[in-house]
A and B are shown apart, each in its own frame.
Chain A
């Protein structure tokens, strides 16, 4: 079977219209060094069972998070996802159309999104939440744009405790320049943010617990921002933390964004994930994305609809509040189902368990020669300064089937002062045996 739709005659016709003699001529503007000039040397086609064998062999090379001690965090966390979550997300009530513009056929999806928004608003301590964003990093960038619209200012101050990938996504959205102040990495939780706030500042962006695991003082930063007419955006990459730390909304945050993967969603090789975004009611019209609302139908029965759609691009075209016209529906559903199963008491218990496991990890690591713990505060994640480059240590421990965490140099390359730093997380799945294996491995590798 031929999978390429265009015949040679059609290609010649298209080239004729464009005015190029050959397809190569179309790429004349691409530097030679960036062009693939030789063929890709791919094998010929194979029978299906051979492809399956090949793929199985490839997947056998993976070392899955559950295959042994695993301490990776830094924005993606290995938590238990109950089997009931994966079962329930496949129920037919949720298999309604991708875009629930027609409420009469989409009540399952719409009600679920409404419940999701309610949960996110409660978790973050805010008035309203949207129906989800792509992930935590894009939610952060959208929050920054929203703050600029609200304040009619364009200076943004990013704390040095923001996840480096989130910082890079904001930079991509905002462009480089004096309007974007990215503070130096702050692995020891140091501040210095308030000194940068001035009358041109649209928002301060902080993360708590931050990339290095420290809990940040949300309240004082909110006051510093508000004193200059700026907003405070709080980023949370580990949503389970919201079960234990005080809600950022209660501490004065104006926009709260988070990565929701931790609740109901597996690591999935880094995505798809689900971004959470919540804000104050007075800012609702500048909030990007979808909003689901509760209403009554012609017979007075409770029902759900997309609301405030006049701000969105399918109606407002290029004047839309944002070009986010979709949401992470399936991941949001998994989040919402797991949250419903946990309930408030269950989430608090899960969060306490995470902190208890991390405390056990911290206590054990402090006994290892060559390890310095940089955190006075943490939830389930912390930063160590090792006596040698962290990337080498992680590689050496992989050979012992221990995934020790994320070397900061992986996300912040070329910064010698960060080279020996290792960020690691514990969750409810971290056992005493995992911790003992890491401690024994580190003693060997750091000696």
Chain B
């Protein structure tokens, strides 16, 4: 699993990636009340706005950590957006995409680097 400086994670198997927000990010946002999902088939470049996560405090954009095409969105979040809080890196995933440039993954942080990134605040 790799992390962006904007607190998205991506887990990859081959060229299939699953994107969500980190445990740290969901703690900072507070109770998530709504997730606006991307359209399946949307072509995203690295850093494009992909989704919106709305908590009781704020609505935050979720940026795609790498370039790719959206293949699936987590429809379960429509009924239960709280999954992002309770299981952010598991059932609280937001969308899946087919990664178009695996090289971009190298720009992201691994778990250790991300932990030190969030510790620095």
Interface, chain A (partner B; CB < 8 A): 152, 285, 310-311, 315-316, 319
Question: Across the interface, do A285 and B61 meet the contact criterion of CB distance under 8 Å?
Answer: no
Q: Report A-chain residues with C-beta under 8 Å of the C-beta of B34.
A: 285
Question: Across the interface, do A310 and B61 meet the contact criterion of CB distance under 8 Å?
Answer: no
Q: Report A-chain residues with C-beta under 8 Å of the C-beta of B55.
A: 310
Question: Across the interface, do A310 and B57 meet the contact criterion of CB distance under 8 Å?
Answer: yes
A-B contact pairs, 18 of them (CB 8 A): A152-B39, A285-B34, A285-B36, A285-B54, A310-B54, A310-B55, A310-B56, A310-B57, A310-B58, A310-B59, A311-B54, A311-B59, A315-B58, A315-B59, A316-B58, A316-B59, A319-B59, A319-B61
| CA distance in complex: A59, B58 (Å) | 51
0 or 1 for each of B10-52: is its CB under 8 Å from A? (1 = yes): 0000000000000000000000001010010000000000000
Q: Report B-chain residues with C-beta under 8 Å of the C-beta of A310.
A: 54-59
| CA distance in complex: A311, B53 (Å) | 11
| CA distance in complex: A285, B61 (Å) | 15
User: Shortest distance in angstroms between B59's beta carbon and chain A's nearest beta carbon?
Assistant: 4
Q: Tell me the nearest residue of chain A to B52, going by C-beta.
A: A319
Contact-residue size bin, chain B (C-beta under 8 Å from the other chain): 10 to 19
Q: Report B-chain residues with C-beta under 8 Å of the C-beta of A319.
A: 59, 61
| CA distance in complex: A315, B59 (Å) | 8
Interface centre among A310, A311, A319 (most CB of B within 10 A): A310
Q: Report B-chain residues with C-beta under 8 Å of the C-beta of A152.
A: 39
| CA distance in complex: A285, B81 (Å) | 14
User: Shortest distance in angstroms between A363's beta carbon and chain B's nearest beta carbon?
Assistant: 54
0 or 1 for each of B53-82: is its CB under 8 Å from A? (1 = yes): 011111101000000000000000000000
Q: Tell me the nearest residue of chain B to A311, going by C-beta.
A: B59
| CA distance in complex: A316, B57 (Å) | 10
Q: Tell me the nearest residue of chain A to B38, going by C-beta.
A: A152
Q: Tell me the nearest residue of chain A to B39, going by C-beta.
A: A152
Interface centre among B54, B55, B59, B61 (most CB of A within 10 A): B59
Q: Report B-chain residues with C-beta under 8 Å of the C-beta of A311.
A: 54, 59
Q: Report A-chain residues with C-beta under 8 Å of the C-beta of B54.
A: 285, 310-311
Pairs of residues from A and B, 7 with the lowest C-beta to C-beta distance, nearest first:
A310-B59, A310-B54, A316-B59, A310-B58, A152-B39, A285-B34, A311-B59
Taking A310-B56, A311-B54, A315-B59 as given, write out 7 further A-B residue pairs in contact, using a Cβ cutoff of 8 Å, ordered by the A residue number. Answer: A152-B39, A285-B36, A310-B55, A310-B58, A310-B59, A315-B58, A319-B59
| CA distance in complex: A285, B56 (Å) | 14
Q: Tell me the nearest residue of chain A to B49, going by C-beta.
A: A319
User: Shortest distance in angstroms between A295's beta carbon and chain B's nearest beta carbon?
Assistant: 12
Q: Tell me the nearest residue of chain B to A286, going by C-beta.
A: B36
User: Shortest distance in angstroms between B110's beta carbon and chain A's nearest beta carbon?
Assistant: 30
Q: Report A-chain residues with C-beta under 8 Å of the C-beta of B39.
A: 152
Q: Tell me the nearest residue of chain A to B56, going by C-beta.
A: A310
Q: Tell me the nearest residue of chain A to B58, going by C-beta.
A: A310
Q: Tell me the nearest residue of chain A to B34, going by C-beta.
A: A285
Q: Report B-chain residues with C-beta under 8 Å of the C-beta of A315.
A: 58-59
Q: Report B-chain residues with C-beta under 8 Å of the C-beta of A316.
A: 58-59
Q: Tell me the nearest residue of chain B to A152, going by C-beta.
A: B39
